[in-house]
Amino acid sequence: MNLGNYNLGVPVFLAPLAGVTDKAFRETVCALGGRTVWTEMISDKALNYRNSKTLSMLDLRDEPEPRIVQLFGSDPETMSRAALLALDAGANVIDINMGCPAPKIIKNGEGSALLRDLPRAQAIAAAVVKVVSIPVTVKIRLGWNHDEIVALEMARRLEAVGVQMLTLHARTREQFYSGRADWSWIQNVKREVKIPVIGNGDIFCPEDARKMIEETGCDGVMIGRGALGNPWLISRTQHFLEHGTIVPEPLLEERLMVATQHFERVLRYKGEHIGLNEMRKHAVWYIKGVRNAAQFRDIIMQTRSADEMRTVLSRILQNGE
């Protein structure tokens, strides 16, 4: 699959997850062999206001190409300006979020709200395509609910204004992340447009990715929640799709080594106070399925310093040996 000047093969993308896929997590995924990662979704308004926290989310230094920045907004003009700022920061691809189901996003007419305003969604995409010289892609859902499935019309509209790739999370906004993703709609959208279509939803192991591709004909896959506490899933899935063999799941020692390296990256970029707050959730994800996980989860949530977190991770390893 080609995207602009990039030959991506059959891509396995790390999904843009707010509060999760920050620079430290992206570096962790890439250190394990992941190739193509996306930033967290970034507010066009906050970027235009030069909000310091938002600008830090555009730190793309030392990241592999293509560097994909995801923006969200509801106004064509402010989205265009934000796209230019992302381009200046080193983005190789601009992705537009039209699928986030969070109420705080919806109330501003952003994310999944655009599934109920297709002309505005199309105008936003057209405006961004017009001002940047790099590929523009869009991530959508099926529709607002099962009575308002708009994925086919949305795909046609976006392709018509020059969007070069579409990612479909095969759930409605009303579903959030519940129920099952309806992969049949990925196939329907793939048949509707000529641009590459990436499938998203319910990929938790390499075999899920191959099954999605076989059933839908999609050009690649995107993994979100499956990578929580499991950053090696991206590279394991890529390896399986390319070679047909399964790389074994990492043993506990490797899992905790990766968790520790991830934590040190978080500290480097965000400092101890913010870094510790953010790492607690990741640490809980990393130890899922470990013996006495519930007990250690409580201890992790009570850590008050970086050294305490390091000690807890070491204790978990000793507990599992």
- Looking at the DSSP bridge assignments, the partners of residue 166 are 138, 197
Q: Is 310 a known ligand-binding residue?
A: no
Sequence-ordered list of residues with C-beta below 8 angstroms from that of 5, at least 6 positions apart, any chain: none
- Tell whether 70 is in a known binding site: yes
Q: Which two tokens stand for residue 9?
A: 């093969």
CA atoms within 13 A on the CB side of 201: 28
231: preceding bond cis by omega (within 30 degrees): no
Catalytic residue numbers read: 100
Q: Is 139 annotated as a binding residue?
A: yes
Distance CA 310, CA 35 (A): 28
| 67 annotated binding-site participant | no
Q: Does 273 belong to an annotated binding site? A: no
Cα-based distances in Å from 187 to 13, 133, 182, 204, 217: 18, 29, 10, 19, 6
Strand 68-72 versus strand 93-98 pairing type: parallel
Question: What is the distance between the alpha carbons of residues 50 and 224, in angstroms, rounded to a whole number?
Answer: 28
Q: Are 68 and 92 in contact (CB under 8 A)?
A: yes
**CA angle, residues 224, 243, 249, in degrees to nearest 5:** 50
| DSSP tag of 311 | H
Q: How far apart are CA 239 and CA 236, in angstroms?
A: 5
Distance of CA 132 to the CA centre of its chain: 22
Q: Which residues are annotated as a binding site for FMN?
A: 70, 139, 169, 224-225
Which residues are part of a known binding site?
70, 139, 169, 224-225
